[in-house]
Chains A and B, each alone.
Chain A
Amino acid sequence: MAQLTIAIPKGRLEAETLELFAAARLRLPAHRDPRQLACLDESGETRFIFVKPSDVPVYVEHGIADCGVVGRDVLFESEADLLQPLSLDIGSCRIAVAAPADLPENGHAMLRVATKYPRIASRYFGERGQPVEIIQLSGSVELAPVLGLADCIVDLVETGRTLRENGLKVTEVIAESAAQLVVNRASYQLKANVIAELISALKGVVLLREVARASRP
């Protein structure tokens, strides 16, 4: 029986996460068939499960996984009750508002916002007193303003290339997003030693990388 179960997000963060774990000399999943969604490491002590990024907080909050790696965008959107002991130095990007041109200053008009992040979007505009109509999409959000479905979008921006290709530009940055180590509240107490080891191993690598970047010209 595995001592620890770690949820890894499939897709964008997957390779970087596994690379970070390797750098921290943590045991990695033995050769994995990409269709296999759960596997043990070589020692059999750690189980890795590979799930959709937005499901990572769900698995961890229910305690099915003791901890996981997840982007802050997903974390903000899920509002899950999780411990967030360590910000990992991977997957840096921004959650931003993007539109074909600067948004009009008159705060009274209803703004149509297309997004995969309805909670983040409604919280952000709500705090500013801007009335919005949230249009929830599950992909290709950049298309919405082009086709006239929305006035602007709230989305994750990495390089900004997709935005430019669709004639959009960032008008406001809502938050910086990076990957985060999240831990289940009960596991944090009940598996304190194993989790402390994991945190300190990852923290070592994160600090080294920060130092390396700071010393770069």
Chain B
Amino acid sequence: MSEPLSKIPSGFRYYSAREARARRFVETTSMNVFAGWSYEEIVTPTVDYYSLFEQGMGETEAQRSFRLVDVDGRLLAFRPDVTTSIARAAETLFAKRARPLRLCYSATVFRQHTQSSADWRRELTQIGCELLGKNSTAADMEVLAIATELLQRLQLNRTFVITLSDAEIFGGIVENLGLDAKARDELRRLVDIRALSELERFLNTYTSAEESAAFANLIQLSGRSEIFARARQVITNTRSRAALDRLESLWRIIESIGYAANFEIDLGDVARLDYYTGLTFKIYVGGLGVRLGSGGRYDHLTGKFGRAEPAVGFVVELDALAELLAKEEQPNLSNQPENLLVSFDIDGAGAVFEKAMKLRAANRQVRIDGEETSWPS
């Protein structure tokens, strides 16, 4: 028996009316913010070689993609992310362009395998921007400022928080403890799920009990400027210290421009460490059980496609944002058209389109109505 045509594959769906308007609003608002910071839109191919994503995202992530075979037998994939493709373009197509490169996008990405039940979508729309060719606190601050403006412009009636960390803090600790790859992954996992007692036990085999407890305590909670002094008491290796210094100078800027209310330091953020090389951040919004977006500095990625150059960027999930907005009382999303009715009944068949076109020329919204009986057949 064949499937009924009414059935839609899992992880895909239709959007219409208010939901569709919310999606359009999020996209337009975001792209306007990017344009306001002089980011050029880039449209990347929907389908690309699988090996590109394997190089850029790592095997585990890339394997979640939808794959298909090209006529010459090579493996293709529906893009599971956009950043990889942008990094490749930066070192090939745009290799000779002046730096810094400022690029932005709004694009659908596809995943054959979802990670969990809360992450059910297999077609997602990602909105993001990348700043390539600049390695400075100012560049990091630029993308954070853009992310903040974007969230403010959407006028969500909810609090949002952006948590900051630096991948090198953890990197320095791993190096200092002399961990092999397996131990590193275990430490990362324990920090990531904040399993504090297990973490203490794990660290105890490498360092003193006091240091283990202090470190577990440090990653337990996010905080603000007070975190730095506490972190320096626990973390003494030069590599982590340099990262802490970097993060603190970024924090000072955030404080000085009065943005601190929406930011926190979270030294327990250790996601995707082989990808990020410096600043990492995550965006959370009240009322949303999942992360809204993430970003950071990835200075090694472009090197896989040519010259290695510094890069920083972020991505937000349009689907989650639009879903939140659609649930709210949002004046931007109401569809109360002026509804200037142009009617066959009232205006007469001959005049309907003449009147409608005139109103349209004046940018008014029209709706054609009435019985079409008088329309010449």
30 contacts between A and B (CB under 8 A): A58-B118, A61-B117, A61-B118, A61-B289, A62-B118, A62-B290, A63-B118, A63-B290, A78-B117, A80-B118, A81-B119, A82-B193, A83-B193, A83-B194, A84-B194, A85-B194, A85-B195, A85-B196, A86-B196, A87-B197, A183-B194, A184-B289, A186-B289, A186-B290, A189-B222, A189-B264, A189-B266, A190-B286, A192-B264, A199-B220
Answer whether residue A122 sits at the interface, using C-beta atoms and an 8 A cutoff.
Answer: no
Tell me if B288 is interfacial: C-beta within 8 Å of chain A.
yes
Judged by a CB distance under 8 angstroms, whether A2 is at the interface is: no
Residues of A within 8 Å of B287, CB to CB, are 63
User: Which A residues are CB-close (under 8 A) to B117?
Assistant: 58, 61-62, 78, 80
Residue B116, interface by CB 8 Å = yes
Contact A189 B194 (CB under 8 A): no
Contact status of A188 and B194, CB under 8 A, knowing A63-B288, A63-B289, A64-B289: yes
Q: A196 at the A/B interface (Cβ < 8 Å)? A: yes
Number of chain A residues close to chain B: CB under 8 A: 26
> B44 CB to closest chain A CB, in angstroms?
27
Q: Are A187 and B289 in contact (CB under 8 A)?
A: yes
Q: Which of chain B's residues have a CB closer than 8 A to the CB of A165?
A: none
How many contacts between A and B, using CB within 8 angstroms?
72
Given contacts A61-B117, A79-B116, A190-B284, contact A84 B193 (CB under 8 A): yes
B372 in contact (CB, < 8 A): no
User: Which residues 160-199 of B sit at the A interface, judged by CB distance below 8 A?
Assistant: 161, 163, 193-198
Q: Tell me, yes or no, whether A185 is within 8 Å of chain B by CB.
A: yes
Q: Which of A62, A86, A186, A196 contacts B221 (CB 8 A)?
A: A196
B159 at the interface (CB under 8 A from A): yes
Residue of A nearest to B193 (CB): A84
Chain A nearest Cβ from B361, distance in angstroms: 48
Those of A162-217 within 8 Å (CB) of chain B: 183-190, 192, 196, 199
Closest to B289 in A: A63
Q: Which residue of A lies closest to B159 (CB)?
A: A190
A67 to chain B, nearest CB (A): 12
B115 at the interface (CB under 8 A from A): yes
The 6 closest A-B pairs by CB, nearest first: A63-B289, A61-B118, A85-B194, A84-B193, A186-B284, A62-B289
Give bound CA distance, A78 to B161, whole Å: 28
Complex contacts, A85 vs chain B, CB 8 Å: 193-196, 220
* A185-B196 in contact given A79-B116, A85-B220 (Cβ < 8 Å): no
**Are A81 and B116 in touch, CB under 8 angstroms?**
yes
Which residues from B are CB-within-8-Å of A58?
A: 117-118
Alpha-carbon distance A87/B118, docked complex (angstroms): 23
